[in-house]
Amino acid sequence: MVYCVKCGAKSPDEAKVCSQCGSSLYSVGKQVPHKQVEKECFGIPGGGVIVGIAFGAIIILWGLILALEAAGIIEGNVPIWPFVVILIGTLMVVGAIYALRRRQ
């Protein structure tokens, strides 16, 4: 015997709908539980923190270059963009490696 999930009535095993209320006795398709998606940035969970750290590192690097230029230790006009590109590329590689490890 099969019991209706809507009204609780008994129906024969071969029945597809409830004999009492007419509701379907079997669900259509497989139900997959909802999976909570983590917030990611650069493929890394909690990536918002990573982006904050990256911007903080860029600002610190920029300030360090300006301070060294003002002290005369290095010559002026040191470009910071190569460091920014390296940092973003590093974050992307770390995110890709993390994503590959999560799939295994």
**Domain ranges within the chain, ordered by starting residue:** 1-25, 43-103
Residue 19 burial (CB < 10 Å; 0-12/13-18/19+)? middle
Enumerate the β-bridge partners of residue 45.
40
Q: Which residue has the higher pLDDT, 36 or 39?
A: 39
Report the half-sphere exposure of 11 (CA within 13 A, side-chain side). 22
Is the pLDDT at 35 greater than 60, yes or no?
no
The pTM score is 0.43
Q: What is the DSSP letter of 17?
A: B
User: pLDDT of 37-90, one tens digit each?
Assistant: 556 665 666 666 667 777 778 888 888 888 888 888 888 777 777 777 888 878
> Is the pLDDT higher at 64 or at 35?
64
pLDDT at 104: 63
Angle (nearest 5°) at CA 21 between 15 and 24? 45
